[in-house]
């Protein structure tokens, strides 16, 4: 038995409002759950992107029905969204129009292209052709 997919991925950002503006506004991901000061969750295709305030997730849960262990990270994390080469060009234009700098864009040795930006929390956000991992 092995896992067949990643159901959710998490990044951490202290300013959840800025994260929501980036992921929900600029990227267009629908918000599916939100607790002020703790987290905002987004639907990304069949998966979920979790954005947590790292200070809040270090506090033990007091909800006995949902005893989620403490967790969190400090510093820049990473998430990568699948995008075709044509979509990468459209993302580049959208980021330029929004004043978001493209940190890097290049072709990998297998020919797949990636584009990188930073979210407001400093996380590395990549858009890459899915063949990157074929």
Contact 71, 60 (CB under 8 A): no
Residue 67 within a domain: no
Phi/psi at 4 (5° precision): -110, -10
Residue 3 within a domain: no
Tokens describing residue 3? 């896992």
Phi/psi at 9 (5° precision): -135, 150
Residue 44: DSSP 8-state: E
Give the position of tokens 């503006």. Answer: 21
Residue 64 within a domain: no
Instruction: Look at the chain and report how many structural domains it folds into.
Output: 1
CATH number for the domain harbouring residue 129: 3.10.180.10
Give me the domain span that covers residue 84: 8-58+75-133
Distance CA 134, CA 126 (A): 17
Residue 98 within a domain: yes
pLDDT along the chain (134 residues), means of 10: 91 97 98 97 97 94 90 91 97 98 98 98 97 95
Residue 33 within a domain: yes
Query: pLDDT value at position 46?
Result: 94
Query: pLDDT value at position 5?
Result: 86
Residue 106 within a domain: yes
Residue 44 within a domain: yes
Residue 66 within a domain: no
Query: pLDDT value at position 89?
Result: 97
Distance CA 107, CA 91 (A): 16
């Amino acid at each position: 038995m092995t896992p067949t997919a990643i159901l959710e991925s998490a990044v951490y950002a202290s300013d959840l409002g800025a994260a929501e503006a980036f992921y929900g506004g600029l990227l267009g991901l629908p918000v599916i759950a939100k607790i002020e000061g703790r987290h905002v969750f987004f639907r990304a295709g069949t998966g979920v992107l979790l954005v947590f305030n790292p200070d809040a997730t270090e506090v033990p849960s007091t909800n006995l029905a949902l005893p989620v262990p403490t967790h969190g990270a400090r510093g820049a994390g990473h998430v990568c969204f699948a995008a075709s080469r044509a979509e990468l060009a459209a993302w580049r234009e959208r980021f330029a129009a929004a004043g978001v700098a493209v940190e890097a864009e290049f072709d990998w040795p297998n020919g797949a292209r990636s584009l990188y930006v930073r979210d407001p929390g400093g996380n590395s956000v990549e858009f890459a052709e899915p063949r990157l991992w074929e």
